[in-house]
């Protein structure tokens, strides 16, 4: 079963946008209930489907009517990834329209939930080898390989500033050295006393 994607309509009302999204979801659920896999037909964003528009001045490129199918089985998984991403974007757009809010592309792709600060580089490398970012893509892993330098502290502080609801967690040894590193992230140090107001971001309530 396929669902034709409507052309871009910048004048569509919020109610119409919600109705179109819900129609796509209902048709896809109906296909699943009937034992079929959902298939979306969308405009092909390829060079072969682009052409210069007729204009007296500059001729901007515009997409033509060629479409492509997105399914769970087409093109060895690549299409399945695009289909999953499409449904995720539709869900987010539906939530934003219902709430009367807007979001940038950056907001859509960087919906961070947590930041894990790792004391030891060996643990950090193990988490990377285990591809923790695939299991939890909304989580950032940070390490300074021990006592944090100024750049790492500023980076963590910027994350906390840009994402105020971000859960901050620290994975350190429960010994004097690990507590010292945790305290350095939270309070700063006497040597960096001038910069501490800009870098101390761990507070009570952070896990």
Walk along the chain (207 residues) in steps of 10 and give the mean pLDDT of each run: 50 86 87 81 62 56 62 61 79 87 70 82 86 78 85 82 80 86 75 51 47
Task: Provide the pLDDT for residue 7.
Answer: 52
Tell me, yes or no, if 110 is annotated catalytic.
yes
Residue 191, pLDDT score: 59
Close Cβ partners of 204 (under 8 Å, ≥ 6 residues apart): none
Taking the domains of the chain in order of start, what are their residue ranges?
A: 2-108, 112-199
CA distance linking residue 172 with residue 184, whole number of Å: 12
pLDDT for the residue 59: 54
pTM: 0.47
**Bridge-based pairing state of the strands 114-118 and 139-143:** parallel
- Distance between CA 141 and CA 116 in Å, rounded? 5
Q: Looking at residue 197, what is its pLDDT? A: 47
Q: Supply the CATH classification number for the domain 112-199.
A: 3.40.1360.10
Of the listed 81, 110, 185, 187, which one is catalytic?
Answer: 110
Residue spans of beta strands (DSSP E) within the chain: 2-4, 39-43, 50-52, 61-63, 67-70, 114-118, 139-143, 167-171
């Amino acid at each position: 079963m396929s669902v034709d994607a409507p052309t871009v309509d910048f004048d569509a009302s919020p109610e119409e946008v919600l109705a179109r999204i819900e129609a796509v979801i209902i048709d896809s659920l109906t296909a699943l209930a009937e034992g079929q896999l959902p298939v979306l037909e969308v405009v092909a964003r390829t060079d072969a489907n682009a052409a210069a528009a007729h204009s007296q001045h500059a001729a901007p490129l515009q997409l033509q009517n060629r479409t492509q199918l997105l399914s769970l089985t087409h093109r060895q998984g690549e299409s399945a990834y695009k289909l999953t991403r499409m449904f995720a974007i539709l869900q987010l757009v539906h939530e934003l329209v219902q709430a009367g809010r807007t979001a940038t592309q950056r907001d859509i792709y960087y919906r961070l939930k947590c930041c894990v600060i790792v004391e030891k580089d060996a643990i950090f490398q193990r988490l990377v080898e285990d591809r923790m970012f695939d299991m939890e893509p909304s989580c950032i892993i940070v390490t300074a390989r021990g006592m944090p330098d100024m750049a790492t502290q500023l980076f963590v502080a910027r994350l906390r500033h840009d994402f105020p609801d971000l859960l901050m967690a620290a994975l350190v040894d429960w010994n004097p050295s690990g507590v010292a590193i945790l305290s350095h992230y939270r309070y700063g140090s006497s040597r960096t006393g001038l910069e501490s107001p800009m870098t101390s971001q761990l507070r009570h309530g952070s896990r």
